[in-house]
């Protein structure tokens, strides 16, 4: 059974409110809809919804079900290079954005700790801890996008 104690920007299954991932998906829906030149009214009509519901999806106020997201992808012509309908487009970039938000919240002590770990040997695995320090902010004003901690698996 998976350990659900990890804090994540993706909300737990018990959460009823929309979260960061829902906002990201909604933003992608809005962008794609605008690229296609379709109004909220038109999209809502094709989905059998009110424009207010589409507006709530786009603002990340309401979660979009997998089935509904597939319908949206189909209407908005989101396809793989092979021509298959895909919902991946709506999730692209979320992990990087969530990681950036997490890094912004690091304290100076946490950043110092990660810098100290660089190059140390993991006591149980005998492998070096590879941390991409270029991704850590020098201060809270600069931000990078990724931290790799393969020794923490």
pLDDT tens column, 65-87: 999 999 999 999 999 889 999 99
Percent of the chain clearing pLDDT 70 (strictly above): 53
Q: Is the pLDDT of residue 143 over 50?
A: no
Q: Does some domain include residue 7? A: no
pTM value is 0.57
pLDDT of residue 49: 97
* Structure token digits, residue 146: 């990724």
pLDDT at 56: 96
Do residues 15 and 24 make contact, with C-beta atoms less than 8 angstroms apart? no
Q: Are residues 80 and 101 in the same domain?
A: no
pLDDT average, residue stretch 122-129:
62
- Are 99 and 131 in a shared domain? yes
**Mean pLDDT across the chain, nearest whole number?**
74
- 90, 118, 136 - which closes a domain: 90
pLDDT range class, residue 109, cuts 50, 70, 90: confident
Q: What pLDDT, on the 0 to 100 scale, is given for residue 40?
A: 96
What is the distance between the terminal CA atoms of the chain, rounded to a whole angstrom?
16
Domain limits for position 81: 20-90
- Whether residue 71 is contained in a domain is answered as yes
The answer to whether position 9 is within a domain reads: no
Whether residue 54 lies inside any domain: the answer is yes
Alpha-carbon distance 119 to 72, whole Å?
A: 47
Task: Give me the mean pLDDT over the 42-54 stretch.
Answer: 97
Please indicate, yes or no, whether residues 80 and 138 belong to a single structural domain of this protein. no
Virtual CA dihedral for 16, 87, 48, 56, nearest 10 degrees? 40
Same-domain status, 53 and 110: no
Q: Give domain status of residue 146, yes or no.
A: yes
Q: Which of 39, 64, 90 is the last residue of a domain?
A: 90
What average pLDDT does this structure show over 17-43?
90
How far apart (Å, rounded) are the C-alpha atoms in residues 80 and 103?
32
CATH of the domain at 79: 1.10.260.40
Q: Are the C-beta atoms of 87 and 70 separated by less than 8 Å?
A: yes
Among the residue ranges 3-7, 39-43, 45-49, 100-104, the one predicted with the least confidence is 3-7
Structural domain tally of the chain? 2
Q: Quick one: pLDDT at residue 120? A: 66
8-19 pLDDT tens trace: 444 445 556 678
């Amino acid at each position: 059974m998976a350990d659900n104690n990890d804090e994540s920007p993706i909300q737990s299954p018990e959460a009823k409110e929309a979260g960061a991932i829902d906002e990201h998906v909604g933003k992608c829906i809005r962008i794609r809809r605008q690229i296609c030149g379709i109004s909220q009214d038109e999209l809502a009509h094709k989905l059998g919804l009110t424009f207010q519901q589409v507006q709530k999806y786009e603002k990340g106020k309401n979660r979009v079900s997998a089935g509904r997201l597939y319908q949206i992808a189909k209407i908005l012509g989101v396809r793989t290079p092979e021509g298959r309908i895909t919902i991946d487009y709506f999730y692209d970039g979320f992990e990087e954005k969530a990681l950036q938000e997490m890094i912004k919240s690091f304290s100076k002590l946490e950043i110092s700790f990660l810098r100290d770990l660089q190059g140390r040997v993991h006591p149980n695995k005998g492998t070096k801890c590879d941390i991409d320090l270029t991704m850590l902010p020098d201060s809270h004003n600069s931000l990078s996008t990724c931290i790799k901690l393969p020794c923490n698996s």
